[in-house]
Amino acid sequence: MKKTTKTILTMILFLCLGGLFGYTVTSSIKGTDRSKKITEVLKDNCNCKEVNQIIYAKGVQFGSNGLSTEKGEYQLVDCKFSSAKKEAQKIQDLLLSKIKGFNKVDLLELEFINGDDSETIIIKNGKIQ
């Protein structure tokens, strides 16, 4: 009787570990999809010569903007807009509406480069800082 109980508990433990592993792999794959979708939204909706993804990383990171578990950095080069803040607000609204779970991205940095001018806008958890 003790061997049967021990065997059942061992099986339950392995099922739980397998489920956790599957969840982790699935989350990682979905995170990659979010990176591609962000790039697509930026390229399709910004009037820029170039949209470059500098980095998109998942995992615990600590930088000048604090602790994050999912971070993306994008360069938007030679964009046509009246204000970087207004453009960032437009981008934020688009990303929130078109990308499921965008508010789970801890840190998104958008660097607008126009000629010699450069301005960085930071979006944390779907909100402009």
Residue with tokens 């049967």: 4
pLDDT digits (tens, 9 = 90+) for 18-33: 877 777 666 666 555 6
Confidence class of residue 42 from pLDDT cuts 50, 70 and 90?
very high
Domains, in order of start, for the chain = 33-128 (3.30.300)
Dist. CA 126–CA 25, nearest whole Å: 24
Residues 87-97, mean pLDDT to the nearest whole number: 91
**95 CB neighbour count, 10 Å cutoff:** 21
Dist. CA 9–CA 13, nearest whole Å: 6
Q: Look at the pTM and tell me if it is higher than 0.95.
A: no
Bridge partners of 50, per DSSP, are 77
Percent of the chain with pLDDT over 90: 30
> What pLDDT score does 31 carry?
53
